[in-house]
A and B are shown apart, each in its own frame.
Chain A
Amino acid sequence: MAISLKSLPEEEFVAPGRGGCAGCPAVLGARMASKVLGKNTIQVTSTGCMCVNYGYYAATRFPFVHTLFENAGSIISGIDAALKARGEREGINLFAYCGDGGTVDIGLQALSGAVERGHRFLYICYDNEGYMNTGTQRSGATPPGARTSTTPVSEISPGEGRPFRRKKDMVRIMAAHGIPYAASASLAYPLDYLRKIKKAIAIDGPTFIHLQSPCLNGWGLAESQGVAVARLAVETCVFPLYEVEEGRVLNINVKPREKKPVTEYLQVQGRFRHLFTPRWQGEIAKFQAEVDRNWEMLLALEQATGSRGNQ
């Protein structure tokens, strides 16, 4: 299932006049997704940046619910059931677009319940790796070593101090529910991202896409750097692009010809600046080791389960 940029409609569903930061990658992600979803879409978004973005000036052309922080999964379940009960479910895309906090932390239960029950919707988590709307606090998706306002850096604190597991692996958590489709995606690989959305919405069941969405302010990036950093995340294998079908078949979608060292990803971000000081530079090797381990694991999983060429 391929997709071409030319096939996307000119029509905009994300209206001008939003309240977000200039250059915000999460808005870009929503705008791109909206073009594949098309106008017969109902969107829900949990409390976070995208609600501040959309909620005051109604900057979306989709019927839109700003849910509570943790109930996007259950609100969308109710919408799905109501449309079915009214005989109006056909031809409507139900779309959740929620932050990592609303997905991997406080909203995990509701999302888990919704996919377990088999409601039909596409859930995209825009992962900016922290609670950004409230001013850059850590989340369960914040990478180790990152400075946030609740994981400050000091002589005795390296920033986020969770043991070196990469972070909650939401794609595999969703895949473990046995849902038809779960994938990661990057703004730097738009065709891959759009293809995944197209594939997901054709499926009669719950589907999940984890979109890495650099936060300019929270990560310490220049306005123009969002997509470039997202690309580095894939090229260093910090954020691998893969998909899992039916909870079993794992395929990696992008394999960098030459895996770049994580320093290339870390050094361009303000939140990791302290890792380049004598006190904390030892953390970089641990970061690299963890990325390597994770990448090896994905390769092995693909080797064991993948069905090359089914894209």
Chain B
Amino acid sequence: MTRCFISGSMAVAEAAQLAGVQVIAAYPITPQTGIVEALARKVATGLLGAEMIPVESEHSALSAVVGASLAGARAFTATSSQGLALMHEVLPYASGLRLPIVMAVANRSLASPVTIFNDHQDSLPERDSGWIQVYVENAQEAFDYLLIAYRVAEDAQVLLPFMVCLDGFSVSHTYEPVDIPAVELVNTFLPPFRANYPHLDLAEPKVFNVMAFPEHFEEFQRDKHESNRKVLGLLNEVYDHFARVFGRRRQNLEAYRVEDAELVLVGMGSMMGTVRGVVDDLRARGQKVGMVRMVCFRPLPVQEIQAVLQGAGAIGVLDRDVSFGAGGILYQDIARSMYNSQGKRVPAVNFIAGLGGRDVNPATIQKCFYRLASVASSGYITSAEELQWPDENEALLRAWGVGDKHGN
């Protein structure tokens, strides 16, 4: 085990190398570029004996990785934002072919207007593509989950592609100490690859991506769904194994100081580090607050969500995304998880913050908790209170006439 001071992007590249990926196809886009560049250096210097395909687009990046995986190789790609949007068509194709591809997504918002900065607007809308999705908090988690991703994706009861999402810049570009295990140790957790799924094989020719008519199609989809659900249980077993091998424990979600918490804020990604700090501050002042950081988002760990939010008096969901015309994407899933839970119904408020890289700072989080406190004490919420923008710039909203008439 070596402790290295590296960025999240470099941690991803280290993990891909240790996973022994055989084919890499990727196209550069900020903030993912560091991952591709690091891998290109490894291949060019012989550190990593993989084929690297410098494709001409992200659509082709994922397509080439699909081809590689179909031909029985462990394959890797990485992208962000517009690149992931360009891959959109290939995502359900890859999951339908049941290929254990792993992709790192350095999260960045989507144009227009143009931004290179972070939120979860690129990967969250891809939640329905059949891919497993996790959202990590820091470089070490990015490293760990990349190994976990291959292990789970390649499991015979899963065989689904896996997306490891790390926040652009705040994780991808931030240097942190990361523990990198020796390859021998990694091999005991993730053995070298042997394609254990139907693939292109001259000895046993098969046709891939057949036509399915209505009498069959639904069962194909159902199978994708059931396999995705199996991931939850499998992940918990894999975390055990991971902890035995590497001495660190990972989990589908992190519940922080929720045991007796009245107000709980739920969210994903690097901003949750700030939430943890604010929880500590407020606790020090005697307020019963807690945090739930979702890591595994697809499949959705509904029972684990219910278990940790059961006792809350009010739930806040901090979304770094918008489903326009509805609200946050994470909120929808948390709210529906709680709707069918055993406990009493409690108010759930949706906070939208951190869009396009806007800083989510302690003041943002405090505002969320204050709002939650007032909603909790009033006992019910109106639709106006359901959606909150804690960092809204009132002057700008007024000057631009946001939400008013558009055009000339």
Binding site for B on A (CB under 8 A): 39-40, 42, 44, 51-52, 54-56, 58, 60-68, 70-71, 73-86, 92, 109-110, 112-113, 116-117
Given contacts A71-B63, A83-B71, A109-B60, contact A63 B202 (CB under 8 A): yes
Are the CB atoms of B66 and A78 closer together than 8 Å? yes
Given contacts A77-B67, A78-B25, contact A110 B50 (CB under 8 A): no
Does B219 reach chain A (CB closer than 8 Å)? no
Bound CA–CA A137/B380 (angstroms): 57
Complex interface: chain A residues within 8 A of B22 (CB) = 82, 85-86
Does B360 reach chain A (CB closer than 8 Å)? no
Complex interface: chain A residues within 8 A of B201 (CB) = 63
Are the CB atoms of A71 and B90 closer together than 8 Å? yes
Are the CB atoms of A82 and B211 closer together than 8 Å? no
Q: Distance in Å from the Cβ of A82 to the closest Cβ of chain B?
A: 4
Are the CB atoms of B73 and A110 closer together than 8 Å? no
Are the CB atoms of B51 and A85 closer together than 8 Å? yes
Complex interface: chain B residues within 8 A of A61 (CB) = 205
Bound CA–CA A291/B60 (angstroms): 36
Binding site for A on B (CB under 8 A): 22-23, 25, 49-51, 53-57, 59-61, 63-73, 75, 89-90, 93, 200-202, 205-211
Complex interface: chain A residues within 8 A of B49 (CB) = 85
Complex interface: chain B residues within 8 A of A67 (CB) = 63, 209
* Cβ contact of A75, chosen from B23, B56, B66, cutoff 8 A: B66
Are the CB atoms of B200 and A78 closer together than 8 Å? no
**Beyond the given A58-B206, A75-B63, A86-B22, could you list 12 further A-B residue pairs with CB under 8 A, ordered by the A residue number?**
A42-B200, A42-B202, A64-B205, A64-B207, A64-B208, A66-B207, A66-B209, A74-B60, A76-B67, A81-B51, A110-B60, A113-B60
Are the CB atoms of A74 and B70 closer together than 8 Å? no
Q: Can you list 14 pairs linking A and B with CB atoms under 8 Å apart?
A: A51-B211, A66-B207, A73-B60, A74-B59, A74-B60, A75-B67, A75-B70, A79-B70, A80-B67, A81-B25, A85-B22, A85-B23, A86-B72, A110-B60
Bound CA–CA A79/B211 (angstroms): 22
Residue on A nearest B199 in the bound complex, by CB: A63
Q: Distance in Å from the Cβ of A27 to the closest Cβ of chain B?
A: 16
Complex interface: chain B residues within 8 A of A40 (CB) = 202
Q: Distance in Å from the Cβ of A9 to the closest Cβ of chain B?
A: 16
Are the CB atoms of A55 and B73 closer together than 8 Å? no
Complex interface: chain A residues within 8 A of B51 (CB) = 81-82, 84-85
Q: Distance in Å from the Cβ of B242 to the closest Cβ of chain A?
A: 26
Query: Chain A contact residues: over half helix, strand or loop, or mixed?
Result: helix
Residue on B nearest A60 in the bound complex, by CB: B207
Complex interface: chain B residues within 8 A of A56 (CB) = 210-211
* Cβ contact of A68, chosen from B61, B89, B205, cutoff 8 A: B89
Are the CB atoms of A85 and B50 closer together than 8 Å? yes
Complex interface: chain B residues within 8 A of A77 (CB) = 25, 53, 55, 60, 64, 67
Are the CB atoms of A71 and B59 closer together than 8 Å? yes
Q: Which of B51, B69, B90 lies at the interface centre, i.e. has the most chain A CB atoms within 10 A of its CB?
A: B51
Are the CB atoms of A110 and B200 closer together than 8 Å? no
Are the CB atoms of B59 and A55 closer together than 8 Å? no
Bound CA–CA A40/B202 (angstroms): 6
* Cβ contact of B208, chosen from A65, A71, A92, cutoff 8 A: A65
Q: Distance in Å from the Cβ of A195 to the closest Cβ of chain B?
A: 25
Are the CB atoms of A78 and B89 closer together than 8 Å? no
Are the CB atoms of B210 and A78 closer together than 8 Å? no
Give the number of A-B contacts (CB < 8 Å). Answer: 143
Complex interface: chain A residues within 8 A of B57 (CB) = 109-110, 113
Residue on B nearest A119 in the bound complex, by CB: B53
Q: Distance in Å from the Cβ of B87 to the closest Cβ of chain A?
A: 10
Are the CB atoms of A54 and B202 closer together than 8 Å? no
Complex interface: chain A residues within 8 A of B208 (CB) = 64-66
Complex interface: chain A residues within 8 A of B23 (CB) = 78, 81-82, 85
Given contacts A65-B70, A85-B23, A85-B73, contact A74 B207 (CB under 8 A): no
* Cβ contact of B205, chosen from A62, A74, A83, cutoff 8 A: A62
Complex interface: chain B residues within 8 A of A80 (CB) = 67
Given contacts A71-B59, A75-B64, contact A55 B53 (CB under 8 A): no
Are the CB atoms of A55 and B60 closer together than 8 Å? no
Complex interface: chain B residues within 8 A of A39 (CB) = 202
Are the CB atoms of B65 and A78 closer together than 8 Å? yes
Given contacts A78-B63, A78-B71, A82-B73, contact A113 B55 (CB under 8 A): yes
* Cβ contact of A58, chosen from B53, B70, B73, B207, cutoff 8 A: B207
Complex interface: chain B residues within 8 A of A83 (CB) = 71
Q: Distance in Å from the Cβ of A20 to the closest Cβ of chain B?
A: 13
Complex interface: chain A residues within 8 A of B90 (CB) = 68, 71
Complex interface: chain A residues within 8 A of B67 (CB) = 44, 65, 74-82
Q: Which of A58, A63, A109, A112 lies at the interface centre, i.e. has the most chain B CB atoms within 10 A of its CB?
A: A63
Residue on A nearest B208 in the bound complex, by CB: A65
Are the CB atoms of A70 and B59 closer together than 8 Å? yes
Complex interface: chain A residues within 8 A of B89 (CB) = 68
Are the CB atoms of A74 and B64 closer together than 8 Å? yes
Q: Distance in Å from the Cβ of B216 to the closest Cβ of chain A?
A: 10
Given contacts A61-B205, A63-B206, contact A81 B68 (CB under 8 A): yes
Shortest 5 CB-CB contacts between residues of A and residues of B: A78-B67, A113-B56, A74-B60, A82-B71, A78-B64
Residue on B nearest A78 in the bound complex, by CB: B67
Are the CB atoms of A68 and B70 closer together than 8 Å? no
Bound CA–CA A68/B92 (angstroms): 11
Complex interface: chain A residues within 8 A of B69 (CB) = 78, 82
Complex interface: chain B residues within 8 A of A84 (CB) = 51
Bound CA–CA A62/B204 (angstroms): 9
Complex interface: chain A residues within 8 A of B210 (CB) = 55-56, 58, 66
Complex interface: chain A residues within 8 A of B59 (CB) = 70-71, 74, 110
Q: Distance in Å from the Cβ of A96 to the closest Cβ of chain B?
A: 11
Complex interface: chain A residues within 8 A of B54 (CB) = 117
Bound CA–CA A78/B60 (angstroms): 9
Residue on A nearest B70 in the bound complex, by CB: A65
Are the CB atoms of A79 and B200 closer together than 8 Å? yes
Complex interface: chain B residues within 8 A of A70 (CB) = 59
Q: Distance in Å from the Cβ of B360 to the closest Cβ of chain A?
A: 37
Residue on B nearest A85 in the bound complex, by CB: B22
Complex interface: chain A residues within 8 A of B207 (CB) = 54-55, 58, 60, 64, 66
Complex interface: chain A residues within 8 A of B60 (CB) = 71, 73-74, 77, 109-110, 113
Bound CA–CA A110/B62 (angstroms): 12
* Cβ contact of B63, chosen from A52, A82, A110, cutoff 8 A: A110
